[in-house]
């Protein structure tokens, strides 16, 4: 088994429910990965600045970032690749939402270079919620007047709402013009066509000369599927929804609240898995 790149989702995967992870173990693990020449990639729906901030306790420059579900790829603050959606596409998605959801029972968040954007009608409670995921939040009167490169258009529904029907509606409406994916926590992300976490890994693989057969990845939700199906060694978290466990055979050693990603990486490095990512229990 040869692994040269390990990628992980964050929420529900590397991060515990309190959005922390074991910093001391991660630092030791990064030392081991560096010594073995293995790249470590955080691949998330989070914005780059938020994603990077999670690694401040272990030096964020030791990590490469596939942020906004693949729309922005960064390494040492250098832009590796970026994919934006146009103003016309944003207008069309808003018009679609107005037609099928006239009561505006969902929240719209646009993710750009200079922060996140929400309506100026958003309440302080909503702004506080958005700031848990976006370091900088701007309130605007009209989304069409935003002067920024927009990577991701996000709908947020109330917790408990089944977003799969909305995903199917959006895919039926926009086809291949835009990429629609569920991102957990009642959210649906809309990106430029063909953009997902897999494309981020492909771009990094091209630069570093790493093939998918030399990659491992961890995830827990629908926006991880392209990435997990791309790499040779995919792992889904035990805490993931059942549909993910049907699509990806290999389970991480533990769930997100019990260091599942760290435990599984250490097991991989120790040779506890075979070439099909199946656990070798007698080791």
Mean pLDDT, contiguous 10-residue spans, the chain (283 residues)? 94 96 98 97 95 97 96 94 94 88 76 92 86 90 90 82 81 91 79 95 97 97 95 96 93 97 95 76 42
CATH of domain 5-82+195-270: 3.40.50.1000
CA-to-CA distance for 107 and 191, rounded, in angstroms?
17
pLDDT at 125: 87
> What letter would DSSP give residue 175?
T
What are the residue boundaries of the structural domains of the chain, listed by start? 5-82+195-270, 87-191
> What letter would DSSP give residue 127?
H
Give Cβ neighbours of residue 276 (< 8 Å, ≥ 6 apart): none
Q: Where are the beta strands (DSSP E) in the chain?
A: 5-8, 39-43, 64-67, 72-75, 78-82, 107-112, 115-119, 137-140, 150-156, 179-184, 187-191, 215-219, 233-236
Q: Where are the beta strands (DSSP E) in 103-158?
A: 107-112, 115-119, 137-140, 150-156
pLDDT at 132: 85
pLDDT at 57: 97
CA angle 74, 43, 6 (to 5 degrees): 100
Query: Which CATH number applies to 87-191: 3.40.605.10, 3.30.70.1450, 3.40.50.150, 3.30.1240.10?
Result: 3.30.1240.10
Is 114 within 8 Å of 150 (Cβ atoms)? Answer: no
pLDDT at 218: 98
* pTM, entire model: 0.90
Structure tokens of 79? Answer: 């832009």
pLDDT at 283: 37
Give Cβ neighbours of residue 156 (< 8 Å, ≥ 6 apart): 106, 107, 108, 109, 185, 186, 187
CA-to-CA distance for 102 and 99, rounded, in angstroms?
6
pLDDT at 105: 67
pLDDT at 242: 92
């Amino acid at each position: 088994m040869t692994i040269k790149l390990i990628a992980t989702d964050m929420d529900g995967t590397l991060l515990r429910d309190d959005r922390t992870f074991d910093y001391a173990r991660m630092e030791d693990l990064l030392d081991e990965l560096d010594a073995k020449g293995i790249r470590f990639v955080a691949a998330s729906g989070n914005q780059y600045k938020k994603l990077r901030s999670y690694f401040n306790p272990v030096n964020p420059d030791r990590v490469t970032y596939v942020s906004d579900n693949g729309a922005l790829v960064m390494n040492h603050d250098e832009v590796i690749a970026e994919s934006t959606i146009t103003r016309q596409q944003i207008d069309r998605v808003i018009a679609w939402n107005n037609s099928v959801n006239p009561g505006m029972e969902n929240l719209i968040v646009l993710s750009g270079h200079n922060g996140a954007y929400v309506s100026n009608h958003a309440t302080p409670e909503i702004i506080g919620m958005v700031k848990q995921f976006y370091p900088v939040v701007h309130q605007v009167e009209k989304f069409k007047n935003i002067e920024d490169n927009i990577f991701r258009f996000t709908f947020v529904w109330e917790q408990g709402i089944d977003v799969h029907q909305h995903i199917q509606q959006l895919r039926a409406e926009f086809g291949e013009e835009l990429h629609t994916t569920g991102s957990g926590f009642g959210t649906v992300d809309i990106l430029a066509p063909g953009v997902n976490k897999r494309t981020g890994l492909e771009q990094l693989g091209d630069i570093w000369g790493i093939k998918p057969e030399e990659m491992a990845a961890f995830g827990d939700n629908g926006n991880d599927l392209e990435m997990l199906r791309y790499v040779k060694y995919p792992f889904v978290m035990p805490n993931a929804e059942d549909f993910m466990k049907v699509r990806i055979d290999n389970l991480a050693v533990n769930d997100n609240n019990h260091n599942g990603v760290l435990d599984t990486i250490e097991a991989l490095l120790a040779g506890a898995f075979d070439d099909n990512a199946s656990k070798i229990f007698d080791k």
